[in-house]
Structure 1
Amino acid sequence: MTQNNEFQIAPEELAPATTMSAAIPDFNRDVFCILGLPFDRVSLADAERIARAAVDSRQRCFLSTPNLNFAIACLEDPQFRLSVIQSDLSIADGMPLIWIARATGLPITERVAGSSLFQSLREAALPAGTLPMRVYFFGGPPGVAQAACEKLNAASSSMIGVGYDSPGFGSIEDMSDAASIARINASDADFLVVALGAKKGQAWIQHNLAQLKAPLISHLGAVVNFVAGTVSRAPTWAQKTGLEWLWRIKEEPQLWRRYWNDGLGLLTLLADRVIPLALARRRQMPSRALFDTAVVAVEEQEDDCILTLSGAIGQANIARLRAALQTAARSHKPLVLDCAGLDHVDSAALALLMLLYGACHQAKRPWALLAVKPAVRRQFELYCAQYLLEPLA
């Protein structure tokens, strides 16, 4: 999905809906790294505008909605993490992520829940001559997708249900049979809402993305239950104060173990990564001169594409990094990042490097970082981005 810093989307720049969107990443995305994942700096209104632009132009937008549980799981699951890195829009769906962003000085200030985005799209006024957004529900407990589709059509809104499928609890391959994909495509859905559990749902989307025709696709597990009315969503005050988890446990008591484990995981991350990162940012911020004199260069050699990074790379000189990464992404040669002169890398730079890493991984293109200084290696680790230091063969 293509957008610039002001989130004005040029339809002609968007990837075709029938191709994998991560092939050439959009390096103009305003992204920042939190807990090893890239997050777009967007408001709810921005996300709604991006989603509608995808539908109107019939161009692909794979939307990921990581919350704390999602982010913690991604730390130990490379494929799950790649599903976020290779998505077109990644929104912070959890107040703990916003708190971490604030503590580490990142400009991700608004929680944008996938449920809120769906509801906003549903309640928006339809411009004259505009058809309702066509929604297909895939997944959820038996009967819930059907109920969600029927409830959606029972009330007047900017959405209509055009199909549903409850594939059960089989493997990704079992749920990806040709008949299921054909039913989804035949519905001419604008928005495919998947509800298979976060890991399986993201994997299912990645597995089938090239065959699916719906322009807007996202795993929104709770949405199916909310629309069907089998679970009620937390009141606004709970959503904004970070207490939605208490409401979710009230509605779905079996979730208590997940939230308990998430709480323990958060405490560990605070001690090992977040607090040390916040302290390091206050003590070790590089001078403006180090950003101004930084070198970001791409050179095509006989066997490799060399991306040289030196000095301080980050938000202060991000335009230079965007241009260089765009050039590097167009090459098909093994990518080597020469970091011998690199002294500092911030969250914005790491997030863009993640997009390039995701494209290399998808293209099975070798990737390697060379001569990374110990201090810079520590920066990668504090941002939970140490996996970028590992080579791709």
Structure 2
Amino acid sequence: MIANNILTAPHDGAPVETDFTRRVYCVLGLPFDAIDTEQTVQLLLKRARHGERCFFSTPNLNFLITSGQDPEFRDSVLRSSLSLADGMPVVWLARLLGLPFTSRVAGATVFEQLRAQHTMPLKVYFFGGPDGVAQQAADVLNAEQGSMRCVGAYSPGFGTLADMSTPAVIEQINASNADLLVVALGAKRGQAWIEHNLAALHTPLISHLGAVVNFVAGTISRAPVGVGRFGLEWLWRIKEEPALWRRYWNDGTALVRLLITRALPGAIALRNARAATTAQVLSERDDGHHYTLTLDGAWHDAALADLRAALARMTLQRRHIHVELMADCRLDSAALGLLLLLYGHQSRIGAPLSVDAQNPTVRRTMRLQNVAFLLEGLNEAVPLGPATIPAGPR
């Protein structure tokens, strides 16, 4: 059983490991970990304590919508070590699909709990935000008597990815010996910057946490807890940043379309998949270069142990993986979530993946869950370079 998402260079012969023990579910094209805020904080502290890499993403409704339009952005979440349901619309969609999500895990709340905890000292580096705001946040944080200290702050402006990724910039971050790197460049640029530089960075915990820098600096106030609990944080954000109204309007109309065309019919399809009782069948063929996994029967959340183990075995080496979903195969959100992790793994190392679904019902379920791209597969490509070789323990 693989416990950590610790990746090594595919060209040096060492295995690239992905954690298929994660309790992860597919929600309209993205994987989400069924984990609460306290569990997230404890996991991150453990990773920081041992110097283990954790690139965690915090997808909200805007992530879901953008991912459907931008495959590279979508894949950055699939390649993350942890994917948190940051946004009540995500939680509502998950509940509609019958998934065990009870509350959002906001990235800003995770940061605040890391800031407030006294289990271990944490060093944070702020990268991004409007000019001067990162340093302002650093000054506020260091004026406190808590266990979190800011050891560096830098606002790179609005240059290209290369401009923001020079050796001098990366060395400055590494020299700080930060435990947590908070990136604030806008979701798409932030995710891309992290993946571009992940190999060269030594920081164990890395995430794009957007407005956190502004919240700490005090340039923007965060919505009260009750406002966020009822899914009305967007109204508060528009009050604080009126220019955001267009984004929230577009996200709202896109949410209505998702409900009508994907979530509601998808919930019915998943309910039927969970009701299937055909016996599970799993077979594997490995010729050293191609690994074929054949699935038949009903693969449900409570009975995925064999599938998790098979995925862990087949990804110990870099090779072409082919998944055959036979005529009687049924997949629920948890099984689809594992296939998304497999896709992320193969994407990370530049190895081919092909998925074939013989059952029209399964293909329809995948389309409704926005994972039809799995059926398109992955061709062999150059490995994701910087994103494939995270730093080990410091």
What does 1:1-393 correspond to in 2, within 5 Å? Answer: 13=4, 15=6, 23-124=16-117, 126-127=118-119, 130=120, 132-283=121-272, 285-288=274-277, 290=278, 293-301=279-287, 303-393=289-379
Which residue does the alignment assign to 1:9? none
Alpha-carbon distance change, 18 to 194 in structure 1, aligned in 2, over 3 angstroms = farther
* Counterpart Cα distance in 1 of 2:328 and 2:204: 39
What is the CA distance between 1:283 and its match in structure 2? 4.6
Which residue does the alignment assign to 1:10? none
Amino-acid identity (%)? 50
* Counterpart Cα distance in 2 of 1:302 and 1:23: 16
What is the CA distance between 1:76 and its match in structure 2? 1.1
- CA deviations 1:3-24 (Å, max 9, x no partner) are 5xxxxxxxxx56279999x932
What is the CA distance between 1:342 and its match in structure 2? 4.5
Alpha-carbon distance change, 71 to 164 in structure 1, aligned in 2, over 3 angstroms = same
Contact 1:64 1:219 in 2 (8 A): yes
- CA deviations 1:82-127 (Å, max 9, x no partner) are 1111111110000001101111100122200000000011111x24
Alpha-carbon distance change, 18 to 191 in structure 1, aligned in 2, over 3 angstroms = farther
What is the CA distance between 1:220 and its match in structure 2? 0.5
SS state at 2:131 partner: coil
What is the CA distance between 1:74 and its match in structure 2? 0.6
- CA deviations 1:13-54 (Å, max 9, x no partner) are 56279999x932100001000111111011110000011011
Contact 1:305 1:331 in 2 (8 A): no
- CA deviations 1:287-330 (Å, max 9, x no partner) are 33x2xx21122210265210111111121321011001111112
- CA deviations 1:225-282 (Å, max 9, x no partner) are 0000000000011010000000000000000000000001100000001010122334
Contact 1:310 1:339 in 2 (8 A): yes
SS state at 2:305 partner: helix
Contact 2:177 2:203 in 1 (8 A): yes
Give the partner amino acid of 1:165. Y
- CA deviations 1:121-152 (Å, max 9, x no partner) are 1111x24xx4x200000000000000001100
Of 222-231 and 314-323, deviating more is 314-323
* Counterpart Cα distance in 2 of 1:382 and 1:274: 7
Contact 1:17 1:58 in 2 (8 A): no
Give the partner amino acid of 2:157. G
* Counterpart Cα distance in 2 of 1:303 and 1:89: 29
* Counterpart Cα distance in 2 of 1:112 and 1:84: 15
Give the partner amino acid of 1:49. Q
Give the partner amino acid of 1:278. A
Give the partner amino acid of 1:27. F
Alpha-carbon distance change, 200 to 278 in structure 1, aligned in 2, over 3 angstroms = same
Flag structure 1 segments of 5+ consecutive residues without an equivalent: 4-12
Contact 2:270 2:332 in 1 (8 A): no
Give the partner amino acid of 2:349. A
Give the partner amino acid of 1:257. R
Contact 1:18 1:210 in 2 (8 A): no
SS state at 2:68 partner: helix
Please report the TM-score for the alignment, with normalisation by the length of structure 1: 0.92
User: What is the Cα-based RMSD across aligned positions, in Å?
Assistant: 1.8
- Specify which structure has the bigger relative contact order, considering alpha-carbon pairs within 8 angstroms and separated by 6 or more residues: 2
Contact 1:85 1:358 in 2 (8 A): yes
SS state at 1:242 partner: coil
What is the CA distance between 1:284 and its match in structure 2? 5.2
Q: Count residues with an aligned counterpart.
A: 375
Please report the TM-score for the alignment, with normalisation by the length of structure 2: 0.91
What is the CA distance between 1:340 and its match in structure 2? 2.6
Alpha-carbon distance change, 17 to 235 in structure 1, aligned in 2, over 3 angstroms = farther
